[in-house]
Structure 1
Amino acid sequence: MRVCHVVNVLSDTTMAGDLAVKQAEMGDVDRIDFGCWRGCDTSLTHDDVHVHDLTHGNTTRLEKIRTLKRLVAESDVVHVHHTISGAVATLLSNLHRTPVVVTEHNSHRGYKTTRLIVNNATGRFADRVVCVSDSVKDSFAPWEQKLIGKNKLQTIYNGVEIDRVERAKNIDWSIHNQVEIDPEAVIVSSAGMLIEQKAQHILIDAVDEANKTAETPIELVISGSGPRKEELQAQIDDSDFSDRMHLLGFLPRREQVYKMMHESDIYAMPSRWEGFCVAALEAMAAKTGCVFSNIEAFTPFSDVASIHDRGSSKMLAEKICGLAENESKRMSLSDEAKKLVKNKYSLESTAKSYLKEYCHIDND
């Protein structure tokens, strides 16, 4: 079987890249092509995974389409992951009668109308629409389910490469070399785009509040970039404990994010909504005590993490203090969290589930 993954941009943090390499390692797919509509800034380390930067050598959009058309025509299954590239690849696949799998990575409740229209048009012409969690699947409005076809909707949870997370402990990089952190402090970390969805402003308020009552100093490190960077930095500057809160910026290597998690005592995600956050799995795989908002996407983790009301910085501060001052509870939660990831959310399990879908639609 030959599979073609299509993304907007391939980077070191692209989940589809990890999935493609794992599929190749398992040996059930003969060849995997990877079409990158807007380019790529990383490589995939497997001889059977072939990355095609569609911006390289294609000076016009028509030339990009022709190159992608060739990849689609040579494939048995096309697997698309992002809105624009997914729409183009699905249209081309339909022309060649090549089966298409669409992965929906985020909740539709946060999408603007134009994106909903494009996504649902793509889903309409796909053979499978795979949601990365039940919460993503449940976010489809009745009209979307009717347009796409409810029988097309499946759930395959994202997975994490646990060994890769573990190996990152030993890389030559540290948050302590990036910012000044009190060696006696409890470290809280968070990773993600600096956007409204991730609600880092709630976390900043919570850590500021927690420092007012905690016996031990609490330091916050946030990795990521995005349109709210200046706003969040201004919020930090106006905080009472501004010297204990740090924006690290975008970390280009995923191993750096993993190392940040390993060096942290607590990992927090106060998200307003999520599809199914791989970073949450990675933090649990790193055995970091986790605090999550009580949104539907984090429901599967409610027994292995501390949960706070969405939007409540006061409750988040209480949860952070509770874990900061109770190491045994923190360790107990993190031990159970890693077991959960290992047993239910491995990348190998995700790859096997997708292969099953490929074979099913290829035989239809």
Structure 2
Amino acid sequence: MKILHVINSFEGGGAEKLTLQIHQMCLKQGIDSHALSLMQSSAGSLPNAYSLGFDSPYQLSVPFKLYSFLSQRQWKDLNVIHVHLFPSQFFTPIISRYLNLKASLITTEHSTVNWRRNKFYGKLIDNFFYNFYQKIICISSAASEALLDSQPQLMKKITTIHNGIDIQEYLPHSTSQPKGNTPIIISIGRLVELKNYATAIRALNKISEQAFEYWILGSGILEQQLRELVNSLNLESKVKFLGFRTDVPDLLHQADIFLLTSLWEGFGLAVVEAMAAELPVIVSNVPGVREVVTEESTETSEVGFLVDPLSEDDIAKKLSKLLADQNLRLTMGKNAQLRASRFDIKQTVTEYIDLYKKNVS
């Protein structure tokens, strides 16, 4: 079986990480897997990884260079083309069909929200390109429900496969650094509006008399704005911007509480990573994230707290409770690690491979 993954970029969060993990694990199982990034890539050392070298997936010449790439002889015998994220989802099937490639087309829907669903012409765009795909994989039940709400005609094509992580990579181990006396709250994600860091920082200001440090892992266009907010609230001694980091497991092992205040998420991969590292979590009560931390039938969680991402008071109250109670943190952390085991990347990839085999051309 020969597979080609196509995605906008290899650099980034959940979608990008999942794509590369599936690719690597397929290679380990002897599957002829390949991965293509439309944008410039640092994954040059990864086997069978390619890049078209663009600065943006929306550049006008993207479809022409993608056409040139897919017209190479080596792709004539592809069995599956698996596409992730727009506009890769739009360009790839059109070019594939124009070249008369026989590969089955599969795509993964990684979010519960996109700008197109709120616009009439956007829904027409989605209706057009989704029509090319044999299967549409959603990373959570929430992502599936959101897509069906926008495109109900896709019901027979949609299936849900939860995201996963390498659980062993995040488990605390004997060489993990001991936690200090000052509790550390940690957040991971791009510094963009979606992640709602400003609300988190203002919530922390409400409990600034308590002992804590807040570590923010990530980079993005809002960094300067967020730094200015921290300075205006005199939180420079408590809030630390650590930038993009590759040592996430080690930093999670040093932390005491994980915080996510996103306005929406398709799944919440960083939440699973934190739970695997035995951290209690305080996360937005939004679809996608909610199903990671609790059962569908309840709004409460044994692994942490669900909060209103727009309420500074709610976030502050839950943070204050965990900061003040070490035993509660430890109990919820143990529960979190047990729940994280449900989202093992090995199970995720097994389900993907089974789906490929059922839809192979």
Partner of 1:128: 135
Q: Any idea what SS the aligned residue of 1:91 has?
A: helix
Please tell me the residue identity of whatever aligns with 2:151: E
C-alpha distance in 1, partners of 2:122/2:270?
24
Q: Any idea what SS the aligned residue of 1:296 has?
A: coil
Question: Given the alignment of the two structures, is residue 155 of structure 1 paired with residue 160 of structure 2, yes or no?
Answer: yes
CA contact (8 A) 1:8 1:38 kept: yes
Partner of 2:239: 245
Question: Given the alignment of the two structures, is residue 228 of structure 1 paired with residue 227 of structure 2, yes or no?
Answer: no
CA contact (8 A) 1:90 1:125 kept: yes
Q: Deviations over 1:117-136 (max 9, x none)?
A: 54443321111111110111
Partner of 2:268: 277
Question: Given the alignment of the two structures, is residue 186 of structure 1 paired with residue 183 of structure 2, yes or no?
Answer: yes
Shift of 1:167: 8.0
Partner of 1:312: 311
Q: Deviations over 1:64-100 (max 9, x none)?
A: 4221333543310111112122322222333313111
CA contact (8 A) 2:283 2:307 kept: yes
CA contact (8 A) 2:109 2:136 kept: yes
CA contact (8 A) 1:210 1:218 kept: no
Question: Given the alignment of the two structures, is residue 35 of structure 1 paired with residue 36 of structure 2, yes or no?
Answer: yes
C-alpha distance in 2, partners of 1:289/1:128?
36
Q: Any idea what SS the aligned residue of 1:243 has?
A: coil
CA contact (8 A) 2:200 2:312 kept: yes
C-alpha distance in 2, partners of 1:169/1:351?
29
Matched ranges for 1:254-333 at <5 A: 256-300=247-291, 301-302=293-294, 303=301, 304-333=303-332
Match for residue 145 of structure 1 among 144, 152, 168: 152
**Worse-matched range after superposition: 69-78 or 105-114:** 105-114
Q: Any idea what SS the aligned residue of 1:37 has?
A: strand
CA contact (8 A) 2:135 2:159 kept: yes
Q: Any idea what SS the aligned residue of 2:22 has?
A: helix
Unaligned stretches of 5+ in structure 2?
55-60, 295-300
Q: Deviations over 1:227-285 (max 9, x none)?
A: 2222211111111433211222222x2xx222221111001001111100111111111
Partner of 1:178: none
C-alpha distance in 2, partners of 1:184/1:121?
56
Shift of 1:6: 0.8
C-alpha distance in 2, partners of 1:41/1:101?
25
Distance 1:236 1:22, change over 3 A: same
Q: Any idea what SS the aligned residue of 1:122 has?
A: helix
C-alpha distance in 2, partners of 1:44/1:160?
21
Partner of 1:87: 90
Number of equivalenced pairs: 338
TM-score of the aligned structures, taking structure 2 as reference length: 0.85
State the Cα RMSD in Å. Answer: 2.6
Match for residue 192 of structure 2 among 195, 201, 206: 195
Unaligned stretches of 5+ in structure 1?
175-181
Partner of 1:350: 348
Shift of 1:226: 1.7
Distance 1:143 1:190, change over 3 A: closer
C-alpha distance in 1, partners of 2:259/2:131?
37
**Worse-matched range after superposition: 131-140 or 91-100:** 91-100
Question: Given the alignment of the two structures, is residue 22 of structure 1 paired with residue 25 of structure 2, yes or no?
Answer: yes
C-alpha distance in 1, partners of 2:138/2:201?
31
Q: Which has the higher helix share?
A: 1
CA contact (8 A) 2:77 2:102 kept: no
Q: Any idea what SS the aligned residue of 1:34 has?
A: strand
Partner of 2:339: 340
Distance 1:87 1:155, change over 3 A: same
Partner of 1:359: 357
Partner of 1:5: 5
Partner of 1:73: 76
CA contact (8 A) 2:257 2:282 kept: yes
Percentage identity across paired residues of the two chains: 21
**Worse-matched range after superposition: 325-334 or 266-275:** 325-334
C-alpha distance in 2, partners of 1:152/1:333?
38
CA contact (8 A) 2:172 2:253 kept: no
Q: Any idea what SS the aligned residue of 1:140 has?
A: helix
